[in-house]
Structure 1
Amino acid sequence: MRGTLVILVSVFVRIAFAQHPNELLFEHYQLQTASLGKLSIHVTKTLGAKKQKPLLLYLDGSGNMPIFYKRRPNRYFTSVPLDIKRYVDDYHVVLISKPGVPFSDSLHYAQTGQEYYPTNAEYESRYSLDWRAQSASQVIDWLLKKLPVDRSQVIVLGYSEGSQVAPRVAVLNKKVTHVVCFVGNALNQFYDFLLTTRLQVEKSELTPEQGQTIIDSLYTQYAAIYQSPTDTKRYWYGATYQKWASFCTTLPLESMIRLSIPILYIAGGRDHNQTILDMDYAKLEFIRRGKDNLTYKVYPYCDHYLQEERIVEGKLAKKDRLNEAHQFALDWVKPLKR
């Protein structure tokens, strides 16, 4: 159960299903590879005549949760916040399971009642930025041979940690035509912990001495991780040193800068999981370099899940902007079709 709490809060758990969706929406494939092991691929079913459609590869966030999972009492949730049914007619929507993790399963419960999903040796040994990016690239190549794909729209969309992976996939695979990054950091993920601590000091949530003690301890921890970048036996915040080192060595912004294809970057102005201060820098860097292929869209009042809260006429108003943001992303792709 190591790191269970961190894993559970980092995945998207807002969408519930009354019935199990896997046989209703998806066809399942397995691709055995020499370097990455078994890749479990899930593609939305095409009803009727097979027509050419864009390929939409959706990369979910962090953690070892199944893509669909059952919680008590008999309700199904997903780590993928896309309203998939809305897009099955117009896109080949593709999902990839984490290594060693099933497409769907039930959560486990500790004696305390706490929910968790157990890790396994394959997940622990393989999970990294490299595994996610390389597996996605190989899946794209394989599906382009198998499916009738409109190759003018091979879209990689990543949410949260998946947002860090998406630009790396496009660097590896030149068949990708569009990259969409939802609420993921642009800079070193370790930097976010430093920023958060400094902001806590600024808001008087910590004293300057307390903040500096935390900062110093973070640098000590980061040094240990970078000194053992392939260590799968030591953990920090519920993940192996290998996972942290891989995601904090090749930076998302470095991959973005290497791309000339269109990139859409979506942020929540009140995101407490991923500080927008990190994300803002990506737009500045593109301007500094004279690159014009990044579109930066900010929802000022939204959190990490694109849930909006604001005061309107003295009252708290809430609005779910998630579906709107996904539609904005896919509408953004369409005018760029050649």
Structure 2
Amino acid sequence: MKKIIFLNLFLLVSAIGIAQKNKIPTINDALKKYDFIEGQVVEKSDTITYYLKNYKTKPSNLIVYIQGTDPNPIFSYSKKNGKTTISRWFADDYLQVDSTYTFAIIPKPGIAGIYDESNLSIPEEYYKNNYLEYRVNQIDVSIKDIVKNHLEKPQKIIVYGHSEGATIAAALASKNDAITHLGFWSGNVLNNFYEFSLFNRIESLTEKQSDSLAHENIMGIIEWYKSVIDNPNSTEIDHFGYTNKRWSSYEKPPIEYLLELDIPIFAYFATEDESTPIETAYLLPIQFMQKRKLNLTFKVCLGCNHSYEKEINGVHRKNWNNVFMQFINWTNQK
């Protein structure tokens, strides 16, 4: 079967890591460096951890970012030439807003804390709990705890997710009524298995592979989907590093979650996206118009890849920060 490209964004900001003496850093070292605090909520036998931008006085607005597909940590460290460098795996969006906002990010299952980059192993808890319902509950519980304990007269509860995080954000907004604004960035619009098939057909049309190979790959994807349906709760790890329980939990097309919402939605896509087909993205404005819904803002970054980078005269230009500020400014108008 043709290799599947997953919906993910890898934001390891090692360039701004901080050199320390040659010691093993703790999560408290990372939190202190980036001025975050840790919150935890105990739910039955589960401890849910979130990281929140520190504040001097309680803010009234919350921004929650949801990561993409891969089992990446939030903080890590590396050792080189006798020095230890602490890094974060998310962008500097939290630095672009004023003190009326705080910013939260919730680690994936089993991946709280700080990790050694030379030994990034995936814990069993990740495979056990990496499915949509668990992720939605993680973030829902975290938001409720933050609103209760860290906000003063809450006004805006902004949630945005990228890639797989966009799907989680859409499902979360259907559950948490406190969310006021949603950012759906480069998430799949239709069922994953259809979009994987679509990529194969596009490659055939652009002569990157033969028509017969595209068809063979698509039939393999259909058989794969059938195997997931036949055993939806299996936690056996497949050769892509995921489980049937994870795949089956994302069976509902995200467009259906989005159409159920009445809060303002900021949908952002890219024409050169290697992970999310732009072809299905255009269904969003069509379907919202068909349903006579007016709460969608739809934007496309021309010539940009999945991470919103664009090549101009051989130079790669990053647009993520610009997209984020467009999004925040948009929330001020909605």
- What TM-score results when the alignment is normalised by the length of structure 2? 0.88
| 8 Å contact from structure 2 (residues 158, 180) kept in 1 | yes
Is there any run of 5+ residues in structure 2 with no aligned partner, and where?
19-28
The amino acid that maps onto 1:333 is T
Q: Which residue of 1 aligns with 2:11?
A: 12
Corresponding position of 1:33: 43
> Contact (CA 8 Å) 2:8, 2:163: kept in 1 or not?
no
| Helix, strand or coil at the partner of 1:192 | helix
Q: Distance in 1 between matches of 2:10 and 2:231?
A: 26
| Aligned with residue 186 of structure 2, among 174, 183, 187 | 183
Out of 291, 298, 307, the position equivalent to 2:293 is: 291
Q: Structure 2: how far apart are the matches of 1:127 and 1:96?
A: 13
| 1:60 equivalent among 67, 72, 85 | 67
Pair 1:212–1:75, CA change in 2 (3 A): farther
- State the alpha-carbon separation in 1 of the partners of residues 79 and 211 from structure 2: 44
Q: How do residues 155-166 of structure 1 correspond to structure 2 at under 5 angstroms? A: 155-166=158-169
Deviation at 1:164, TM superposition (A): 0.8
Corresponding position: 1:243 with 2:242: no
In structure 2, the residue matched to 1:42 is 51
Q: Secondary structure at the match of 1:239?
A: coil
Distance (Å, rounded) in 2 between the aligned partners of 1:333 and 1:176: 12
Letter of the structure 2 residue corresponding to residue 68 of structure 1: F
SS across alignment from 1:151: coil
2: CA distance, partners of 1:139 / 1:173: 11
Contact (CA 8 Å) 1:164, 1:184: kept in 2 or not? Answer: yes
Please give the residue correspondences for 1:1-338 in structure 2 after superposition, counting only pairs within 5 Å: 10-13=9-12, 16-19=15-18, 21-24=30-33, 25-34=35-44, 37-47=46-56, 50-71=57-78, 73=80, 74-87=84-97, 89-108=99-118, 117-247=120-250, 249-310=251-312, 315-336=313-334
Matches of 1:105 and 1:67 in 2, distance apart? 9
Mapped to 1, the partners of 2:185 and 2:72 lie a distance apart of 19
Q: Is the 8 A contact 2:133 2:249 kept in 1?
A: yes
Matched residues in 2 for 1:240 and 1:10: separation? Answer: 20
Are residues 149 and 240 of structure 1, via their aligned partners in 2, closer, same or farther at CA, if it must alter by over 3 Å?
A: farther
Are the structure 2 counterparts of residues 103 and 61 from structure 1 closer, same or farther at C-alpha, using a change threshold of 3 Å?
farther
> Following the alignment from structure 2 to structure 1, what is the Cα–Cα distance between the partners of residues 300 and 7?
26
So what's the TM-score if we normalise by structure 1? Answer: 0.87
How far is 1:77 from its partner? 4.2
Aligned mates of 1:245, 1:13 — CA distance in 2: 29
Change beyond 3 A, Cα 1:88–1:78: farther
The DSSP-based 3-state class of the residue aligned with 2:155 is strand
User: Quick one: distance in 1 between partners of 2:222 and 2:325?
Assistant: 40
**Matched length:** 317
* Local SS of the residue matching 2:154: strand
For the 8 Å contact 1:55–1:94, the answer to whether it is kept is yes
Task: State the shift of 1:322 in Å.
Answer: 0.9
Q: Which letter maps to 2:327? A: A
Secondary structure (helix, strand or coil) at the match of 1:230 reads: coil
Q: How far apart, in 1, do the equivalents of 2:31 and 2:267 lie? A: 29
CA contact (8 A) 2:58 2:150 kept: no
Q: Deviation at 1:142?
A: 1.4
Amino acid at match of 1:16: A
Aligned partner of 2:10: which letter? V
Q: Distance in 1 between matches of 2:78 and 2:59?
A: 37
